[in-house]
Amino acid sequence: MSPRTVLPREREWSGVAHFKKAPKMSPLVSIENVDMRYGGPGGTLAVSGLNLKIERGEFVAVVGPSGCGKSTLMKLTTGLHIPQGGTVIVANEEVTKPVSIVGMAFQNPTMLPWRTTLENILLPLEIVERHRHRLRRHKAEYVAKAETLLETVGLNGFGDKFPWQLSGGMQQRANLCRALIHEPELLMLDEPFGALDAFTREELWCVIRDLHASQDVTIVLVTHDLRESVFLADKVVVMSARPGRVISEHVVPFARPRQLEILYKPEFNDMVQALHGEIATARAAA
């Protein structure tokens, strides 16, 4: 794959005037020469010499052989782990503790079964410092916001259902709402669609695609599914086997908004195949 220029993004603007953040020169996330080792000095080196920059508003997919430290990358970016070497800078600040501008969603939806879907979605607001003190008095406002989000992901009217009354795909939609309720600047998705059937997965790809188009959010998607990465991302980052580092970055040239039909185009499949080859080589090198 030869690097190509990024095409101007065609965003699907909603009718309302949408203010874009003033473009800043520095990237939202900047990972520089990071080493991360688990379990003391003799432990496994999860990532080594990791370098990655993520621009504001960008959609980045991270792919690689299993055990390549993709999840470590997520934990480093969110501040759940502090690296032993190198620096992680998020929103112009070096990460030394969990950064609260992120939303996270995992493969396991981890909805709390004793809360209704709506209450589950409101959970981050009970935690995040700038919302938790306002929540009680401005409840109606937040509930309205949660309901708007539910509508966006196609879960209109499911707010008062309990998570166990929802299907796996619906739980995952609710999980996305929970990750977005506090308006994070950065959304981290760790294989969010791994446990879903093919049709539900494609539906949720479109949900994510539209969310990214309509909201001013930067998304990092960690995935095993190469088609998913090419369909959704602006940039696909390939990581090596453990200890993980970035082998290559590919700009996805397809114009937005992308429709599911693109999955069957030869250019699309060529790119998927090229990525596949690269990861196979990385696996073999391990």
Using CB under 8 A, list all residues that contact other proteins: 75, 78-80, 98-100, 102, 104-106, 108, 110, 112-114, 123-124, 126-129, 162-164, 178-179, 182, 188
As measured in angstroms, the least distance from the Cβ of 12 to other proteins is 28
As measured in angstroms, the least distance from the Cβ of 146 to other proteins is 16
For tokens 């090596």, name the residue: 240
Residue 239: both structure tokens together: 């990581």
As measured in angstroms, the least distance from the Cβ of 97 to other proteins is 8
CB-nearer residue toward other proteins: 153 or 179: 179
CB-nearer residue toward other proteins: 53 or 81: 81
CB-nearer residue toward other proteins: 164 or 199: 164
CB-nearer residue toward other proteins: 145 or 178: 178
Q: Please, is 123 exposed, middle or buried when counting C-beta atoms within 10 Å of its C-beta (0-12, 13-18, 19+)? A: middle
Q: What is the spatial order of strands in the sheet that 218-222 belongs to?
A: 102-106, 186-190, 218-222, 59-63, 235-239, 246-251
Taken as a whole, the chain contains a residue count of 286
Q: What is the 3-state secondary structure (H, E, C) of 53-68?
A: EECCCCEEEEECCCCC
Closest CA to 101 of 124, 135, 67, 82: 124
- d(Cα 193, Cα 65) in Å, to the nearest integer? 17
As measured in angstroms, the least distance from the Cβ of 81 to other proteins is 10
Helix, strand or coil, per DSSP, at residue 82: coil
As measured in angstroms, the least distance from the Cβ of 108 to other proteins is 5
As measured in angstroms, the least distance from the Cβ of 135 to other proteins is 13
As measured in angstroms, the least distance from the Cβ of 90 to other proteins is 11
CB-nearer residue toward other proteins: 37 or 178: 178
CB-nearer residue toward other proteins: 43 or 98: 98
Identify whether the C-beta of residue 45 lies closer than 8 Å to the C-beta of residue 105: no
What are the φ/ψ torsions at residue 31 (nearest 5 degrees)?
-110, 120
Angle, nearest 10°, between helix axes 168-180 and 139-152?
130
CB-nearer residue toward other proteins: 20 or 130: 130
